[in-house]
Structure 1
């Protein structure tokens, strides 16, 4: 299928290859060769443009209701980002509207390899189509409606400095990040929480390394220069550190992602096993915001959240599905 698509694109047409996320590794070497060919072809004056090769990866690591450990590997992203920056792009749309806009953009590009990761299970819709267009154009952004940052101005993120930034990339991590922010708002309403969603992963990289890299001043305005950053990531946590290691606030960046723990289980239990669930993210905030853990009542909140995540897992193991508090959760402003 990969070979057929490469040839099809060279005829001047457009195409798409879709795969289970874990099994796209079967064509790792073919991806490598196509990316290298694109890089070399761009240096040959008589070669015309060719439509980008676009991957859509679904049946991803965080939904394993009927699959299992063999189907859990988000590492194709690690392979892709090592290629030349002029060629590769990685997108993690958080909802259906953002996915539509992302795919339209991918099909409009030339001489690249685009990787889009999106699950095929029903998910919440965060953005209108117009909002999704702006979000994809920016590559990342502050979702002020999901955070709790008094006085925040969308046009000037540096105008206020939050106590903590909760960032996310990927459809399932976005749900958990928004849910964690809501937990914090409910129990610690005075805590200034900023939520940042990343759809274009290469925005994290320094602009000297990738053309999509966000300029340093803009990056610091969003992620701050000193606040703790809790990052819920779709793939392996090391990839975010690899991309963001030159950023001012990298020392305060704590990433949660896939840590090679899984089985055939419920969606929330997959998150629980890998410490990426909403309660774990909220607990990370309690532990990493300076002085917060010692405040009156915070220890009791931590105990409550530890008990809630344990109870959700026990329910899933007894009933074979997640509790209504998880499956029926919806964001409320």
Structure 2
């Protein structure tokens, strides 16, 4: 495959030419000393990047290279590295010359060799890893340890100083960068977006991030699209676009676009582009902070065009390497056995003259220090406090003051919204709520009474300090969503959990605010939505995380909901999922009772049991708001139809207690489990999600043959609420039939009437279908509080 030809700009129309920034006075952008220091930085870092992939010893080539010096497994990505090094070296210069608070988010996460090399040069590894000093020995350990057991992995991970996201999965860097600068007015985050990553859906959306960033109160993101033309085995979309097309696209997004592509003057042009970008950021921020914000400001961005894998091998077997996809990972894949590849590798590594790096008392490093590296270590990108100590504690009001009276009807999310309103009032700069569209629908819109949406392109929302945004990081926040839409962010949630896991294993990383999801508008209440909006699978996605970092809560009423929200807002290092209802349902527990219930994670609801739940014929368990209601409705039905049946009613609000003891920090010991659900009586779990999820949690519990689980069965359409429950066999009718069919085995009085009562229940179901088909709605009163309950 041939390298990309130079872009043809001859046909750029005047309107687009005006939007493409033309830099002036480029030759004066850097001094000769700065230029020399930049080239030294790039030379050392590019060598180290290549050496990390290939060398296990002789890391400065102080002896002639031989095959025994080469690693047995060649792992890493070379192609993106030289561009990352180029940018990193210049950002150091920009920080030093302008005394900036800045760090870097690296979209091409597999460019770890380039980032680690740059961190080593600026001496940002040794403060965190005492053996990775800026010495021959430190360099040797870094190079030899890369992508080996105990060393750094091949991508930018939590173990890399200066990183704030798990870099192994493409797509999330730009969104993370925007979140990092919210409420950090003095911070600039430069985000490198590879042209392969730029093709992903999350990145395509994240380009709009500035539309949610108030320059009066937040910092700035400087995106750099690194356009080297190729991904792992073909050209990139952006690599095939000429400047006219790229400028038109990003102008439409709302950016001023500066293209850096003059390979003969690359350092001077990039230095000028970065200084121009900083001036534009300051201009926009100054206007906003002076009370005269620019309407729809055009923020700066840079498009950097460089050959993929520049400074590496040029060709092999008549095929180009530099400037093609063949440089993407390991450009010379078998130097151990191929003499041609060994010779190319030897010449490539020797071209950087690594033996000179420590000559004359490390003169090269001292020159870099003198002209590039910020003198204050806390200003270096690898040592920014914002990258490893981001948690901001919050001041919560007493949630019980927002509680509802036992026995009344209340919406869980609406009640939580009133509580969150005062959370935002108490913490105006350390909390955020992420909700692009569904806030009112999900009945959390009370928060808008304090501050509105943070949507800078909306005339009604602009420059009002809104707390409702779509992106954030380092703050305490909530992400409410329709249940069916959370799958869209599944992998981003997983990456956050992976970062949390790795961060907890690293001594120098501090706590991270939990990622809190509220899943509502669920399949159990379909209103105007149909089958497409029925998908509780996000529960399973969280259950599959490392147990230490996953929490799933299904509060059964409004008081349990606000208790759970308050708990999650103060938690750290978790992914919390709260499955809730936005519709009015009975309040089963007082605030004090709710607090105790949520603390335990589950309890016997004696107010709904017969004989206080003692010696039951059957145990009925609700997990989820509507599913719990159906258990109680079934109990009420049986109270009238079969007063001799002995029923224990339980509710589970913390799903993780169900796992076998030792499988999760919250998992109940067996004796506690049996206190709730008995050791040998039939149990029905009426569960909001997929039955297999709960079955997996219960797998190692004793005597599971007695357990029956019902959950969502992928049945439904736009229909009535009770019909949805009937279709999925979790309705009161199905619960009551289970109780009769299983309770008869231990209770002769129930056995004597069970067949007749089951027939009566089947008749109720038939009558129900007839009624809704004729009337288009559920019968009146089906969701009223069951009358027998003494609340």
- TM-score of the superposed pair, with normalisation by structure 2: 0.40
1:268 and 1:277 in contact (8 A); partners too: yes
Give 3-state SS (helix, strand or coil) of 1:214's partner: coil
Unaligned 5+ runs, structure 1: 153-159
Deviations 1:36-68 (A, max 9, x none): 110000001111111100000111110112100
1:299 paired with 2:761, answer no
2:585 and 2:783 in contact (8 A); partners too: no
The answer for the alignment partner of 2:713 in structure 1 is 259
User: Structure 1 residue 331: deviation in Å?
Assistant: 4.0
Q: Cα distance 1:146–1:6, how it changes in 2: closer, same or farther (>3 A)?
A: farther
Give the stretch that moved more between structures: 13-22 or 184-193: 184-193
1:214 paired with 2:654, answer no
Alpha-carbon distance in 2 for matches of 1:83, 1:297: 47
Alpha-carbon distance in 2 for matches of 1:320, 1:247: 43
1:6 and 1:53 in contact (8 A); partners too: no
Unaligned 5+ runs, structure 2: 1-171, 183-389, 392-472
The answer for the alignment partner of 1:137 in structure 2 is 599
The answer for the alignment partner of 1:86 in structure 2 is 548
The answer for the alignment partner of 1:156 in structure 2 is none
1:106 paired with 2:574, answer no
1:245 paired with 2:699, answer yes
The answer for the alignment partner of 1:277 in structure 2 is 731
Q: Cα distance 1:97–1:176, how it changes in 2: closer, same or farther (>3 A)?
A: same
1:225 paired with 2:679, answer yes
Question: Segments of 4+ in structure 1 off by > 6 A?
Answer: none
CA RMSD of aligned residues (A): 1.8
1:75 paired with 2:552, answer no
- Higher Cα radius of gyration: 2
- TM-score of the superposed pair, with normalisation by structure 1: 0.93
The answer for the alignment partner of 2:38 in structure 1 is none
Alignment of 1:1-333 (within 5 A): 3=175, 7=180, 12-150=474-612, 152=613, 160-289=614-743, 290=745, 295-333=751-789
Aligned length: 324
Alpha-carbon distance in 2 for matches of 1:287, 1:6: 54
Alpha-carbon distance in 1 for matches of 2:700, 2:179: 35
Give 3-state SS (helix, strand or coil) of 2:716's partner: coil
Higher relative contact order (CA 8 A, sep 6+): 1
Alpha-carbon distance in 1 for matches of 2:706, 2:559: 32
User: Structure 1 residue 231: deviation in Å?
Assistant: 1.0
Give 3-state SS (helix, strand or coil) of 1:203's partner: helix
Alpha-carbon distance in 2 for matches of 1:102, 1:58: 14
Deviations 1:112-155 (A, max 9, x none): 000001011111111111111001000000001111135x5xxx
Give the stretch that moved more between structures: 282-291 or 95-104: 282-291
Alpha-carbon distance in 1 for matches of 2:559, 2:636: 23
User: Structure 1 residue 13: deviation in Å?
Assistant: 2.1
2:564 and 2:598 in contact (8 A); partners too: yes
Give 3-state SS (helix, strand or coil) of 1:295's partner: helix
